[in-house]
Amino acid sequence: MSRGISGFGAYIPQARLQRAVIAEAHAWFDASLKSLGRGERSMCNWDEDTITMGVEAAADCLAGFDSFAPESLYFASTTFPFLDRQNSVVLAEALDLPRQVLAMDVGASQRAATSALLALLQGERDGLVVASEHRRAKAGSRAEMLWGDAAAAVATGGGPVLAEFVGGESLATDFVDHYRGGEFDYDWEERWIRDEGYLKIVPEAVNRLLEKYGAGAGDIAHFILPTDQARTPPAVAKRLGIDPGAIVDNQAATVGVAGAAQPLLLLAKTLESANPGDLILLTAFGQGCDALLFRATEAIGGFKPAAGVSGALAAGREESSYSKFLAFNDLVERDIGKRGETDKQTYLSGYNRRRDLVTSFVGGKCRICGTVQIPREKYCVNPECNALDSQDSYSFADKQGTVLTWTADRLTFDWSPPAYFGMVQFDGGGKLMMDFTEVREGTIDSGSRISVHFRVRQFDQQRGFRKYFWKARIVETT
């Protein structure tokens, strides 16, 4: 039975910061940034991070299946929010996956996602690889201009697949093009990285792969090489003998390069448009190289994620406030006022009791009368029922709803004021007072339609903890 890719999904934050405003802010110091000041880059909202984007990408992927229960969940990133709390388990619970899933964090390399994917494909378990990246860069740096925030997910399995896994090759070599020992990356000279790194290490891995499986470089229909160096993919393709037309664009002009998530993001993009029989060469560079070869099958056009890369790109909205970007990325110390100074400690015992609601957004459905409610309680809320212990788990994470009431409050502290909150009526039953996220003034009213999204609710700066919960977002009309 062949193994390969059975599904894919992606998430790109809606806000797209215009690079021209970054260049203009720093022109007094470094006029050369203006040469990079074209296009836009994706930026997380203040309540988004690596985990929340990973949830979005994985949900986008899972929406394309009638049913899929991964046995393994690998979560790849170099920007995990927690150093000692398994980030993949938070992701698994937010997705309401079975507790038996093998969850694993994979990090410390730009190859994290491809190494995780390679491990899954060489095994026998059906799995899900999620890669997400929210990298911080120094203000006025080249990285700030060229990077972007994004996440992607790929499902693997046997049987009918969208792209058959032909084989893979991996090289491990401590070529230090960059490193991060503190808050920010430190990198070396770009030409040296290209000439001594990419142009030597990537061809070695790819040539071994092609020779092992009897494929020719000229047969490659899609060549994925994640990098923020615009000239490097054509140079590597030329050295390998790959047609320049096969190079998959890194989306630097529209999204930016998303670190460890970039390989899977570009793979998801490629799978949206690949034709049956196409050979797809996926590579990732970083302290060595991973090279994976896939062949698209006749089923390639039959899978549709909820949005995919194309949908995520289409949902973008222009952001021109550079100061907002600096604040959201904690690159400036902002005066948050007295209301923002209250203690945000999380009482872990209380959190543990309500994890099903807080993380998985699970309510209840009465098996006696069918009433749906959130949160799930001991008694059914239907006054004509009031049955005790009658509620089965009922997920609200995929439900839409309607705004009943709403408030825009500038007295309550919020990282992006005003704070919007109100009562939401869910389709099929259940009501809950919720925070609204990413509200643009004038777009919310009673009767507005919403979808729900896993987001950061509060930061506990004293203890380095962050609280997650589900928020409502106004559904954009077309």
pLDDT at 124: 86
Q: What count of Cα atoms within 13 Å lies in the side-chain half-sphere of residue 249?
A: 7
Q: What is the pLDDT of residue 477?
A: 44
Query: How high is the pLDDT of residue 333?
Result: 85
For residue 200, the one-letter residue type is K
pLDDT of residue 476: 63
Q: Which residues contact 249 (CB under 8 A, 6 or more apart)?
A: none
Q: Do 186 and 244 contact (CB within 8 A), yes or no?
A: no
pLDDT at 334 (0 to 100): 82
CA distance readout (Å), 174 to 109, 201, 285, 369, 409: 11, 11, 11, 63, 52
279 and 270 Cβ atoms separated by less than 8 Å: no
Phi/psi-derived region of residue 17, left when phi > 0, alpha when psi is between -120 and 50, beta in every other case: beta
Residue 225 CA to residue 284 CA, distance in Å, equals: 6
Q: In three state form, how does the secondary structure of 278-297 look?
A: CEEEEEEECCEEEEEEEEEC
- What does pLDDT average to in each consecutive run of 10 residues of the chain (478 residues)? 91 97 93 91 98 98 92 98 97 96 97 97 94 96 96 92 97 96 93 97 98 96 97 98 97 96 98 97 98 97 96 96 95 78 81 92 97 96 96 96 96 91 97 96 94 95 92 77
Instruction: Give the integer Cα–Cα distance in Å for 75 and 67.
Output: 21
Q: What domains sit in the chain, N to C, each tagged with a CATH number?
A: 3-328 (3.40.47.10), 397-474 (2.40.50)
